[in-house]
């Protein structure tokens, strides 16, 4: 088991678009295992490779007892209205904020052996696919908030113990992911 350090908000790797995977080899299989082990240890509902400092388009997920991974994902989002739901992130430990997301998503990509995969998700699974794919594009969930909510989120981030800016002012509260961050 290879638990990796999770990069926190402010690390430039989180704002850098990840490169497509081209080599489906032993190193990729190790990356998927490291991502899975780190996600399960955190615990989280999802984890993208940039969150452990690897700039490749890979993410893992564990939602509703479904464990998996997706490489080089492409999302097709429902035309339905977005739903605002509480969302957390392992790169923002202990914090969660209302974030709008499509309620249905189809994710197409590859597995670690290069075989095509199509995944469909609603509600939390759809939210996870969107959140993790955003990480691969250098987009963070705070970027999806309206300006008023983003302002409140940034205040909470500045006050978070891990930010190193001020003493802790925000306590963890379980959210829609059952206490797991995405």
* 175 labeled binding residue: no
Q: What is the pTM of this model?
A: 0.87
Express each pLDDT in 83-134 by its tens digit: 889 999 999 998 999 999 999 999 999 999 999 999 999 999 999 999 999 9
Express each pLDDT in 136-151 by its tens digit: 999 999 999 989 988 9
Active site residues: 132
124 near 45, Cβ under 8 Å?
yes
* 128 labeled binding residue: no
* 39-45 mean pLDDT: 95
59 near 35, Cβ under 8 Å?
yes
* 131 labeled binding residue: yes
Class (C level, CATH) for 12-163: alpha beta
Predicted local confidence at residue 164, as pLDDT: 62
What is residue 15's three-state secondary structure?
helix
């Amino acid at each position: 088991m290879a638990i990796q350090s999770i990069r926190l908000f402010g690390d430039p790797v989180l704002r850098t678009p990840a490169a497509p995977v081209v080599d489906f080899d032993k190193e990729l299989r190790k990356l998927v295992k490291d991502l899975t082990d780190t996600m399960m240890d955190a615990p989280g509902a999802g984890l993208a490779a940039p969150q452990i400092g690897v700039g490749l388009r890979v993410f893992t997920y564990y939602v509703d007892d479904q464990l998996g991974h997706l490489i080089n994902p492409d999302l097709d989002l429902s035309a339905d209205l977005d739903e605002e739901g509480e969302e957390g992130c392992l790169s923002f430990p202990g914090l969660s904020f209302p974030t709008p997301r499509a309620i249905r998503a189809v994710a197409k990509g590859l597995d670690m052996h290069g075989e095509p995969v199509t995944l469909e998700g609603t509600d939390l699974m759809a939210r996870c696919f969107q959140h993790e794919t955003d990480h691969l594009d250098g987009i963070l969930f705070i970027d999806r908030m309206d300006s008023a909510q983003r302002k409140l989120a940034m205040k909470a981030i500045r006050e978070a113990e891990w930010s190193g800016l001020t003493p802790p002012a925000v306590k963890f509260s379980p959210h829609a992911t059952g206490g797991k961050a995405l």
